[in-house]
Structures are given as C-alpha cells and as structure tokens.
Amino acid sequence: MGRRLAAVLLAAVALAGSGASPASAMKKRQPGHTTVLPNARDPDIAVQEELDAARRAGTLAAYDLFLSRHGEHRLAAVARQERAAIRSGTPRR
C-alpha cells in the first residue's frame, strides 16, 4: 500500500467518529484574511543612518564598512571626504 493511500485511510478512520467527511478533511485550508505589511521604508534614510553611525564611531574602520556597503551611493563621496579628514588628522567641524 502506498504511503499516500495509507495516510488517506488513516485520516478517514480518525475522522469517522468526528462527523467530518474525509473529503473535507483532505482539502487545504485557505487563510481567512491576508496579512497587510507596512510599506518599505526609504532606503536613503537607512543609508543616512549608517553614515551617522560611522560619524559617531569616528574610526577609519567604521567609514570603511560604510563605503564597502554603500560605495555607489550619493553619500559615499561625503563619507570619503570625512574618512580622508580622519586619516590626515584634520579635526571635524
């Protein structure tokens, strides 16, 4: 006896006393409602927050991480300037 047939027979036997028909038990239940997800946030905000975190850290490693993740972003030029200032020892304004 195949596994699927055995599973169907077991389900039918188990449901025989419950009053539910085997056919209705084998149907997949559909969700009664859909889950509404929030809109995705603006990616520029996330990049700005990461640049702010690099500024707070104030280390070359923090700027290197930012640039490795967002090297093509418009804020990358700002990050490169700030990184160069840290490297040269120029104080931030």
Task: Please state the pTM of the whole predicted model.
Answer: 0.57
Model confidence band, residue 18 (pLDDT cutoffs 50, 70, 90):
low
Q: Which of 5, 34, 2 is nearest to 22 (CA)?
A: 5
Can you give the pLDDT at residue 2? 73
pLDDT digit string (tens) for 24-34? Answer: 556 667 667 77
Q: Per-residue pLDDT averaged across 50-77, rounded?
A: 98
- Does residue 11 carry a pLDDT above 90? no
- In degrees, rounded to 5, the angle at the alpha carbon of residue 67 between the alpha carbons of residues 62 and 72 is 160
